[in-house]
Amino acid sequence: MKANSTEDIQVSSTQKYNQSPFTLARKRFLKNKLALAGIVVLVIFILAALFAPLLTEHDPTKGDLMLIEKPPSADHILGTDGSGRDNFARLIYGARISLTVGFSAMLFTLIIGVVTGAVAGYYGGKVDNMIMRAADLVLALPFLVLALTIIAILEKVTVGIFVTVIAITAWPTLTRIVRGTFLSLREQEFILGARAIGANDLRIIFKHFIPNAIGPIIVNATLLMATMIIVESGLSFIGMGIPQPTPTWGNMISEAQNIRILRDHPEAWIPPGLAILLTVLAINFIGDGLRDAFDPKSNRR
């Protein structure tokens, strides 16, 4: 019996070591209850955004002067705003814009950051110096100040332009993270072995560097999306983001700058505020779960 127990332990240990890093990361992630709760909350908002036409029959951009600032009713669950637009319709359609801006800005920033960081970390030398000096130049000004300056210069801001402005001012941080990861891998034996057998640069980067750097990239991309949603909401709140009447959570909260609406119509600004809070918390929980999954040492005390 003792021999069988020893063999079972050895088999279990062997199976554990034979599992891929992604399999182990997935198992660790599924044990994180906060991360799973974050996924559930985020999925609910995504489904609400996708099926918005089925959840309300009101047009989020069409106002009615006869329905200005009406209180909640059976026809208008969250009442109407200062232009007679249905607040509930603007809330769920605003999820479309806010989540799209957050994801698109994150994806655009991710592409710029990964490409520039990979090139700088892999090639080093003059290429590295040139990219890092460009990153330093962008970082010389605070992120929001630079974004506000570019937006103020533009005559018209659309969702595409807004996403582009945010991405081109936010890439240096991710570039530094990817560059640091590549520098730590550059002298590893498996990289030197790939070079020795004549593998070209693209093959080495995509087959050896990227898979080993994917953990930090995914974690930072997730947290970056939460940051982008906050940035969009903040800029829209001060009138420098997505212009009215496009429904976004930031645009809805901006109406609370009127002290009368802030006092008498909490249904107009509390729901979008809670939506931003819950979405950002959910994404941060997912990001923390991914970080702990890919780097189990990070949650050890």
Judge whether 174 and 113 are in contact, CB under 8 Å: yes
Write down all domains in the chain, each with its CATH number in brackets: 86-294 (1.10.3720.10)
Burial class (CB in 10 A: 0-12, 13-18, 19+), 82: middle
pLDDT tens string, the chain, 301 residues long: the values are 444 555 444 544 455 555 666 777 788 888 889 989 999 999 999 999 999 999 888 888 888 778 788 888 888 888 888 888 888 999 999 999 889 988 998 999 999 999 999 899 888 888 989 999 999 888 887 777 888 888 888 777 888 888 888 888 888 888 998 898 888 888 778 777 877 887 787 888 888 787 778 878 888 888 888 888 888 888 888 888 888 888 889 888 887 777 777 777 888 888 999 999 999 999 999 988 888 887 655 554 4
* CA distances (Å), origin 31, targets 34, 39, 120, 288: 9, 13, 36, 12
For CA atoms 176, 215, 44, 56, the dihedral sign is positive
Structure tokens at 187: 């002298």
CA atoms of 204 and 116, how far apart (whole Å):
16
Structure tokens at 23: 């399999």
CB atoms within 10 A of CB 53: 10
Structure tokens at 14: 């062997």
Using alpha carbons, select from 252, 251, 97, 94 the residue that is nearest to residue 159: 97
Q: What is the DSSP string of the chain?
A: -HHHHHHHHHHHHHHHHHS-HHHHHHHHHHT-HHHHHHHHHHHHHHHHHHTHHHH--S-TT---GGGTTPPP-SSSTT-B-TTS-BHHHHHHHHHHHHHHHHHHHHHHHHHHHHHHHHHHHHH-HHHHHHHHHHHHHHHTS-HHHHHHHHHHH-S---HHHHHHHHHHHHHHHHHHHHHHHHHHHTTSHHHHHHHHTT--HHHHIIIIIHHHHHHHHHHHHHHHHHHHHHHHHHHHHTTSSSPTTS--HHHHHHGGGSHHHHHH-GGGTHHHHHHHHHHHHHHHHHHHHHHHHH-GGGG--
Using alpha carbons, select from 274, 271, 263, 250 the residue that is nearest to residue 77: 271
CA atoms of 50 and 293, how far apart (whole Å):
29
Report pLDDT for 298: 53
Report pLDDT for 301: 40
Which residues are bridge partners to 86 per DSSP? 80
CA atoms of 107 and 164, how far apart (whole Å):
11
Report pLDDT for 280: 92
* Contacts (Cβ under 8 Å, ≥6 apart) of 33: none
Report pLDDT for 2: 47
